Structure 1
């Protein structure tokens, strides 16, 4: 029955917009460091060459809405975004749990660091400042990311107060700290031997400085203020070594941050919500349990009054 449910869910998500809104510009006043990089490319559920970052809203199922919201960061090695499989499909799953979501379309290798960090922190600030408009709780805003998107989400959870994440806009005054994180087979470190070299090159360039690698090795940026985190990874991941999640979990534990880590034997990198990956295909059920334990799926007073 569970497998049938997820098969139907993925089918529906691939053919329906699920009442999503039109794109919401992150930078209506002008993109910081704007560049003319040519037209955006969209093919096979992937987006690349992004010059106009935005958010797409997916509302929670009306009869289950609980006030929580997740900003989703698709993976793609900082060179593309897996918008369908690691964005829209997650959004539909979250909707069934009563959680609204925004899929982030962030700048990529054409801009490099710190543009993606600025985009994800701007997204959190924008959503938090617009909480009443979307009927969400400003204190229950999470981030979820896969692969390089996991690195971006984890950047938000560790570097939310960093000066490089500000641009001088009025919204810089809004709290950018996420309240929880779900990290799927995330890129975490920018240092050997466990680095995903492609993500490092796309984000930091071919010859990154020691300082930039240190800053963006997120296991080194964890503090007691990093939000509660769920990590999901597989031993069989040959693209982003499982050591990335282990390093982050160890740092979270040392800092006293509530964290859980689901490590599975089977499952390829980029598995998202695919079936056929053994026990790893059941991760959505385990993640739902974690969300319930953290009271994220518990209706807030605002939602109960609707």
Structure 2
């Protein structure tokens, strides 16, 4: 019994240390009619940044995956935020609404747009550069990240619920990791599609499938995008990532990259697993962040 208690305490202590954050922001607390919407983001301040008190660092919103049904907050959320923080970027892990709590679109897009608004409007308080704001997403979170860039001007969900802002809701850069992209029948991740759009033919008309297939809706001002996929991903068909890249290239989106790895499957996040040890995929991501002037050499 004592050993079990010790192991429980140790697990709790490790989890607490990993999950520790500098600030918790409730997205809807002061918004009339939205007060009961429980969406939060956890701030992890950048380390190793300029020592000057007025220094502004890049910032990223981290969107974990989970088929739009639940969230992989540990390996895709907190581990990612820790890595960005250690590399001089302030990170906000976004706990957005999912179908596990009976939410479909537009709740998820509302949450990420609200997060962008809050960060940009409070950039001085957070010590971040509002013009170096990115969104990274994994799996269904990759769809959300891409959607935040593609839909910023065509789907202003904040305006629809009476929230007006002078800041742009368009991220400056996007990172989509083993992303859900398409809602088309041939390659769609069905669980993500069901969770986002709702079940049934009335909610999944071809028109709606087209509307939420990111590869069919890339605007001319799509942010620079970094896309990662493994050839042996049996959860989300790799063609999703490849179609996103092809669509960006067809629109001549600058600084768009596709990193294809021979193995690694799905859900590796930023854990120190076999895939990370072999390929160090986040080192290549860092090089890209330097290339687009988010980070300095």
- TM-score in terms of structure 1 length: 0.83
Residues 273, 88 of structure 1: CA spacing in aligned structure 2 closer, same or farther, 3 A cutoff?
Answer: same
Q: Is 1:224 the equivalent of 2:203?
A: no
Q: Who is 2:87 aligned against? A: 97
| Cα deviations by residue, 1:59-82 (Å, 9 ceiling, x for unpaired) | 000445761000000000011011
How many residues are paired up? 273
How far apart in 2 are the matches of 1:13 and 1:256? 45
- The equivalent position to 1:115 in structure 2, one of 107, 112, 118, is 107
Q: Who is 1:158 aligned against? A: 150
Given that 1:182 and 1:231 are in contact with CA atoms closer than 8 Å, whether structure 2 keeps it comes out as yes
Q: CA RMSD for the aligned pairs? A: 2.3
- TM-superposed CA distance for 1:209, in Å, is 2.1
SS at structure 2 position matched to 1:71: strand
How far apart in 2 are the matches of 1:18 and 1:81? 14
Given that 2:19 and 2:78 are in contact with CA atoms closer than 8 Å, whether structure 1 keeps it comes out as no
- TM-superposed CA distance for 1:212, in Å, is 1.7
Q: Who is 2:71 aligned against? A: 81
Residues 169, 28 of structure 1: CA spacing in aligned structure 2 closer, same or farther, 3 A cutoff?
Answer: farther
How far apart in 2 are the matches of 1:105 and 1:144? 13
Residues 14, 263 of structure 1: CA spacing in aligned structure 2 closer, same or farther, 3 A cutoff?
Answer: farther
How far apart in 1 are the matches of 2:188 and 2:32? 30
| Cα deviations by residue, 1:114-133 (Å, 9 ceiling, x for unpaired) | 11011111111111111111
- TM-superposed CA distance for 1:16, in Å, is 2.0
- TM-superposed CA distance for 1:182, in Å, is 0.9
| Cα deviations by residue, 1:100-152 (Å, 9 ceiling, x for unpaired) | 01011111111201110111111111111111111111110000000000011
Q: Who is 1:140 aligned against? A: 132
Q: Is 1:58 the equivalent of 2:51?
A: no
SS at structure 1 position matched to 2:67: coil
Please, which runs of 5 or more residues in structure 2 have no aligned partner? 1-12
How far apart in 1 are the matches of 2:14 and 2:127? 23
How far apart in 2 are the matches of 1:218 and 1:151? 8
Residues 31, 16 of structure 1: CA spacing in aligned structure 2 closer, same or farther, 3 A cutoff?
Answer: farther
- TM-superposed CA distance for 1:29, in Å, is 3.0
Residues 56, 214 of structure 1: CA spacing in aligned structure 2 closer, same or farther, 3 A cutoff?
Answer: same
Please, which runs of 5 or more residues in structure 1 have no aligned partner? 1-11, 36-50, 300-306
Given that 1:157 and 1:226 are in contact with CA atoms closer than 8 Å, whether structure 2 keeps it comes out as yes
Q: Is 1:243 the equivalent of 2:239?
A: yes
- TM-superposed CA distance for 1:263, in Å, is 0.3
Q: Is 1:267 the equivalent of 2:260?
A: no
Q: Who is 1:304 aligned against? A: none
How far apart in 2 are the matches of 1:33 and 1:163? 19
